[in-house]
Structures are given as C-alpha cells and as structure tokens.
C-alpha cells in the first residue's frame, strides 16, 4: 500500500490528467515507493537472541506531507503565485464559484486550476470550457489531496509567475483539514442548505481555514437558516475567519470576493 | 477516512526507521495521539490490521498514549482543559486561545529486533 496517498496499489493511486488526455494513463504521481517491498524473511526467524532495541524517534506522522507542503509554499512565493485551497462538503458549489469567478476576472488575472475528485474529469472539463489551464487529480480511493500531488500537478500545469492558482479539493469536510498543500489561504465553503451547525460538527475544517464563503444565498427565501447563528458558530471555532456571502448562480455578493482576490495579486 | 492515510503514514515511518536501524521488524510501537488531532481512535483501530499487513509492524504490539487537550486564553491567560477545538475560555468566554497540547500525532518510539 502507498503511504502517502492511501492507494491500495499503484493502479489505484492518484492520476493527474489534463482534459482530453486518456483516462487509462497512470499519472506522474511520484512519491517514493521504495519502502513498499515486503519482508519475505520467513526462513530466518530462528534467532533467539532477542536483542530488542528501542528507537526514540518522536516523529510527526504528517511530517512527510508538511515537508512537501513547505516546498510548494516556497515555489509559490518565488513565482508570486497566490494559491487557494477550496474545501467543502460535496456539492456546496466549489466548481460553480470557480466558473463564475474565472469568467468574470480572467481578462484581468491569469488563473490556473487544479481539480481534485475521486473520479471523473467532469469538473476539469467545466473549467476547460472557459479556456483556463486546468488539471484534474483523481484520487481514486483517497478522499483528499496531498502536497506531493500538488507538486506534480503544478509542474505539469506549467504555472506562470504572478498568477492565481485555485485548488479545488475533494468534496469532504473532514480529512482535507489535516493535509496542508502549501496554499496561501484556505477557503471553506458552506452553502445555505447545509444547516447552521456545520462549523461545530466539522470544526477542524473551519479551524484551519482563513476564509469562509457562504454560498447559495439566492435560496435564503426558501429556507429557515439563521446566517448569524452560522457565523457565530464558525467564529466560535475560529475567531479570525473572514466571511463572504455569495450566490454563484445569481452573482450576488461576488464583488467583495473579487475585491479581496485582486488585493492579493499585485 | 483519513485514518487509513494516517495508518499508512505510520507504516512508512516504521519501515524507514527499521531499515535505518538495520533491524528486521518492530515488536512494539508507541504512538502519541492528541484528543484534538482530528484522528478517531476507533477508526484508526479499524483500519490498523489491513494497513500493517506485510509490513514491519505486522506483529507489533501497539501502545497509544492519548494526550489531553489543553488551551490558554489569549484574553485572560486562564489555562483550561479542552474537549473540542471550539471550547471557549471558562472564565471570560473568549474564543481566542492558544492550544497548548492535544494536537499531537506522533510515533514516539519503536522497539525493534
Ligand atoms: N441555487 C444555487 N445553486 C447553486 C449555487 N452554487 C452552486 N449551485 C448548484 O449546486 C450544485 C453543486 O455545485 P458544484 O459547483 O458542482 O459543487 P461542488 O462543490 O463543486 O461539488 P463537488 O465537486 O462534487 O464536491 C449544482 O447543481 C449547482 O448548480 C448557488 O449559488 N445557488
Ligand atoms: Mg466540484
Ligand atoms: Zn501511490
Ligand atoms: Zn482523505
Ligand atoms: Zn478521512
Ligand atoms: Zn479568558
């Protein structure tokens, strides 16, 4: 099994594809697999010396991901790339927000997009339709993106200097919170249909995010969600969160979000 | 289920360290897992057997030290026990705090042979 991506075997590992590429091509997902060898020392187990040795290693289990995330961060900084990691439950509107943002700002800002999903090129194809350079990472059984996948994808995307890199994580409010990708800002998206107590049900994601987008506000007349209550729960988890209330469908509230984006690319 | 990734991360560290020490296998592994780390022990135990299969950890005894959550209020300096990452200061109700411990996710020691 693969220690970094959780794949059962290499054919189940993440694939990194551009729209139009063949799906059966196994991606350039390169983490070291040299430790995958099995131990077939069955016939040598008869030494009874019992020399147990204790290795006090004190090693952080996520260290490998963190080291590679730091490498990504350095790369982004050197190239003046502003990178965002978009996280949410499935269907909160990550791709829809990207579609509208890219359509409205692409003449002003160079964008690049990395799409993460377990399967399909659907989201990458939606971005590709806007003529924005995009790459799809299919994580297979994995339920989140990790920093080595981003490193490979960024190289394949050939991201130019002074750009915004949007990374849409796998729709999942739990484990992407633990895996730093080296992004500049983490953006958690919650839609008005999800209930105001999401932030305390999935606190880790809100705790590790910088920005909280509340999407689908066009549906407010049909719902009895209390937005202030939602924000208060979110602030209880993370008092530093900054909010944007938007509708990717109608475009309402997008201006404040655009202003914030532009402020971050010079 | 990120606990599988976590378990496989533990296997990788154990494989690397065992090889470095020129040992054959691990007889005991000591883990430190904080109550605020985001890892569910039940889920970790659930995936453990399949993750360690055919690895140096296959026959290792597993010991988990659970580290309690503790925070310190930024507004009034009170130190308090935390069960959840969103717990507020019991004295002044502030949401602003530093987490002193409970985020740990570490392989503390390996006993190898
Ligand atoms: N009414 C309304 N519907 C929206 C809005 N934004 C997105 N949707 C709808 O919500 C559904 C899911 O949107 P996506 O953008 O695909 O969501 P996602 O977060 O990218 O989903 P995954 O990638 O599968 O996790 C689609 O049917 C969208 O049309 C919005 O602001 N208002
Ligand atoms: Mg999507
Ligand atoms: Zn792999
Ligand atoms: Zn995951
Ligand atoms: Zn998970
Ligand atoms: Zn206080």
Task: Give A192's DSSP letter.
Answer: G
Residue A192 pLDDT: 97
| Alpha carbon distance A214, B97 (integer Å) | 25
User: What is the residue with the minimal CA distance to atom 13 of ligand 1?
Assistant: A93
Q: How confident is the model at residue B1 (pLDDT cuts 50, 70, 90)?
A: low
**How many A from CA of A215 to the centre of ligand 1?**
9
A3: chain B residues, CB-CB within 8 Å? 8-9, 11-12
Domains and CATH numbers, chain A: 63-258 (3.40.50.300)
CB contact under 8 A, A52 and B113: yes
**What's the mean pLDDT when you consider all of chain B?**
95
- Taking CA–CA distances from A172, the nearest residue in chain B reads B1
Can you spell out the DSSP letters for A57-114? --EETTHHHHHHHHHHHHHHHHTT-EEEEEEESTTSSHHHHHHHHHHHHTTTS-EEEE
- Taking CA–CA distances from B16, the nearest residue in chain A reads A35
| Alpha carbon distance A222, A247 (integer Å) | 14
Which of A56, A61, A143 shows the shortest C-beta gap to B13? A61
Q: How far is B23 from chain A (nearest CA, A)?
A: 9
Q: In a mutagenesis test of the A interface, which of B6, B10, B12, B65 is the best target, namely the one with the most A β-carbons within 10 Å?
A: B12
B1: chain A residues, CB-CB within 8 Å? 143, 175
| Stated pTM of the model | 0.87
The total domain count for chain B is 1
Contacts of B47-55 with C-beta under 8 Å, sequence gap 24+, read B47/B1, B47/B3, B47/B4, B47/B7, B48/B7, B51/A1, B51/B4, B51/B7, B51/B8, B51/B10, B51/B11, B52/B7, B52/B11, B54/A38, B54/A39, B55/A39, B55/B11, B55/B14, B55/B15
ipTM field: 0.89
Residue A265 pLDDT: 86
Residue of A114, A248, A251 best suited for mutating to test ligand 1, as the one with most atoms within 8 Å of CB:
A248
Domain membership of residue B12 as a residue range: 3-112
Residue A22 pLDDT: 65
User: What is the residue with the minimal CA distance to atom 1 of ligand 1?
Assistant: A216
Determine the average pLDDT of the residues in A241-263.
98
Residue % of chain B over a pLDDT of 90: 94
The answer to whether B105 faces chain A, any CB pair under 8 Å, is yes
Q: How far is B15 from chain A (nearest CA, A)?
A: 7
Q: Is the pLDDT of residue A6 over 70?
A: no
Instruction: Render pLDDT for B35-81 as a digit per residue (tens, 0 to 9).
Output: 999 998 999 999 999 999 999 999 999 999 999 999 999 999 999 99
Pocket of ligand 1 (CB under 6 A): A 88, 90-96, 117, 123, 171, 215-216, 218-219, 247-249
Q: Is the pLDDT of residue A18 over 90?
A: no
Please report, for the domain that includes residue B62, its CATH number: 3.30.2320.80
Using alpha carbons, select from A190, A65, A201, A185 the residue that is nearest to residue B2. Answer: A65
Which residues place a Cβ less than 5 A from the ion ligand 4?
A 143-144, 175; B 2
Instruction: Render pLDDT for A149-186 as a digit per residue (tens, 0 to 9).
Output: 999 999 999 999 999 999 999 999 998 999 999 999 99
């Amino acid at each position: 099994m693969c220690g970094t991506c959780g794949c059962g075997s290499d054919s189940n590992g993440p694939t990194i594809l551009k729209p139009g590429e063949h799906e059966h091509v196994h991606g350039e997902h390169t983490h070291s697999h040299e430790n995958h060898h099995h131990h077939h020392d069955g016939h040598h187990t008869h030494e009874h010396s019992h020399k147990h040795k204790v290795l006090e290693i004190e090693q952080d289990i996520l260290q490998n991901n963190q080291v590679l995330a730091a490498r990504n961060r350095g790369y982004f900084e050197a190239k003046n790339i502003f990178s965002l990691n978009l996280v949410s439950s499935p269907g909160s509107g990550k791709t829809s927000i990207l579609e509208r943002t890219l359509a409205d700002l692409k003449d002003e800002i160079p964008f690049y997009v990395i799409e993460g999903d377990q399967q399909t090129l659907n989201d990458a194809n939606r971005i590709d339709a806007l003529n924005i350079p995009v790459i799809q990472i299919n994580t297979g059984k994995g339920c989140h993106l990790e920093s080595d996948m981003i490193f490979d994808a960024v190289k394949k995307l050939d991201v130019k200097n002074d750009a915004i890199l949007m990374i849409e994580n796998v729709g999942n409010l739990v484990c992407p919170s633990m895996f730093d990708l080296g992004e500049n800002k983490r953006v958690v998206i919650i839609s008005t249909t999800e209930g105001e107590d999401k932030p305390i049900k999935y606190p880790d994601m809100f705790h590790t995010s910088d920005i909280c987008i509340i999407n689908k506000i066009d549906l407010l007349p049909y719902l009895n969600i209390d937005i202030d209550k939602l924000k208060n729960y979110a602030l209880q988890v993370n008092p530093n969160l900054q909010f944007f209330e938007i509708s990717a469908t109608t475009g309402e509230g997008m201006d404040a979000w655009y202003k914030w984006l532009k402020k971050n690319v010079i | 289920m990120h606990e599988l990734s976590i378990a496989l991360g533990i296997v990788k560290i154990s494989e690397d360290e065992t090889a470095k020490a020129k040992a054959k296998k691990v007889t005991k592994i000591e883990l430190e897992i904080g109550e605020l780390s985001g890892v569910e022990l039940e889920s970790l135990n659930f995936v453990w057997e399949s993750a360690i299969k055919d690895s140096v950890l296959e026959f290792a005894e597993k010991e988990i030290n659970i580290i309690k959550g503790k925070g310190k209020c930024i507004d009034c300096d009170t130190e308090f026990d935390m069960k959840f990452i969103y717990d507020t200061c019991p004295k002044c109700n502030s949401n602003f705090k530093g987490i002193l411990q409970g985020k740990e996710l570490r392989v503390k020691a390996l006993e190898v042979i």
